[in-house]
Amino acid sequence: MSQTDIICKATTDTFVRFGIVILALFGFSLYFVYDGAIGYAKKNEVICSYKAFAALGDEAVKTQDAATWQQARSSTPLLKTEKTADGQLLAVEGESRYPLPADCAAAMQCPQEVMDLQAMQDWHNCWEKYTSRMGMPIKPGEHPYDAGAIREQWIGSVVGFALVLLGLYYVVRTYKRELSLRGGVVTAAGQSFKVSEITLIDLRQWGPGFKGIAYFTVNGKKVKVDGMTYGGFNKDKGEPAEAFMKAVLALYKGDIVEYEQTDRDADTPAA
């Protein structure tokens, strides 16, 4: 490498931004997987159980025979359920079906908290005791989730993981690329060309305070020069991207388009 060569690799800040986005996408994807596999079914158990407690509470107010009540509760599970051909446990509410956890206790029997007729006439206290014992939230969700809603979570997770892979691809591509000038040959956006092949340089978005982006017109096509990603404008590091551009301009003999500050811009104080 000649001493006059300028090589700008991707900045640390660029990879930090990539990392934040990829970690966020990965986290969201895991959350989608959790809801699709476990979360929504558990929420359905809470919501459906709450509705069953409320219905039994209304029934308890109208019932006088405690023995008959206890016998009915002992022989009937809290939730009415059915299983699909593949073994998925579903809560049945009219024509609607809501997936439940495979080990849903309310689908097997009535909990002890509903056995006492007198206590169930104030069913909210019974519900509070039940949720405390079962480790459930006292307040249920607004509505249960059917198979379609759970399917959406799986779709969301697939999309999220696909975006994570896409992000990793861009990380690798960015790591391998560079912005450089070697002996009159420019490398930018994965392309290499001679300075003499550049017919126009657009600097309207270049430099600190702008986007750090320039465009070189090479053989009739625009090539993006991303100084913010490659090299950067950190003064403590000598503003590598700016040094690259100055070196290119020293060799370049063609037209340049730059942002022109008007008098009005000059008179406007900085915010």
The pLDDT assigned to 209 comes to 75
For the chain, what is the domain count? 2
Considering the domain architecture, whether residues 184 and 77 belong to the same structural domain is answered as no
Residues 38 and 139 in one domain: yes
Average pLDDT, the chain: 92
Could you tell me if 150 and 184 lie in one domain?
no
Element (H, E) at 158: helix 147-176
DSSP letter for each residue of 98-133: EE--TT-GGGTS--GGGS-HHHHTTHHHHHHHHHHH
**Residue 166, in any domain of the structure:** no
Residue 97 located in a structural domain: yes
258 and 184, same domain (yes or no): yes
pTM: 0.80
| Same domain membership, residue 144 and residue 21 | yes
Whether residue 57 lies inside any domain: the answer is yes
Taking the chain, what is the end-to-end CA distance rounded to the nearest angstrom?
A: 44
Do 77 and 202 fall within a single domain?
A: no
Q: What is the pLDDT of residues 79-91, one digit of tens each?
A: 999 999 999 999 9
> Same domain for 22 and 102?
yes
Which residue range is the domain that position 209 belongs to? Answer: 177-267
Q: What is the mean pLDDT of residues 56-83?
A: 93
Picking from 93, 127, 157, the residue at the C-terminal end of a domain is: 157
**124, 157, 190 - which closes a domain:** 157
Whether residue 115 sits in one domain with residue 183: no
For residue 6, being part of any structural domain is answered with no
81 and 188 both lie in a single domain: no
Q: Is the domain of 148 the same as that of 223?
A: no
Residue 127 lies in a domain: yes
Return the exposure string of 166-184: e unless at least 16 CB atoms fall within 10 Å of the residue's CB, then b: ebeeebeebeebbbbbeee
Per-residue pLDDT of 29-64, as tens digits, reads 999 999 999 999 999 999 999 999 999 999 999 988
User: Once rounded to an integer, what is the mean pLDDT over residues 148-168?
Assistant: 97
pLDDT of residue 262: 47
Task: State the average pLDDT over residues 152-160.
Answer: 97
Residues 140 and 33 occupy one common structural domain: yes
165 belongs to a structural domain: no
pLDDT at position 77 is 95
Whether 97 and 90 have beta carbons less than 8 Å apart is answered as yes
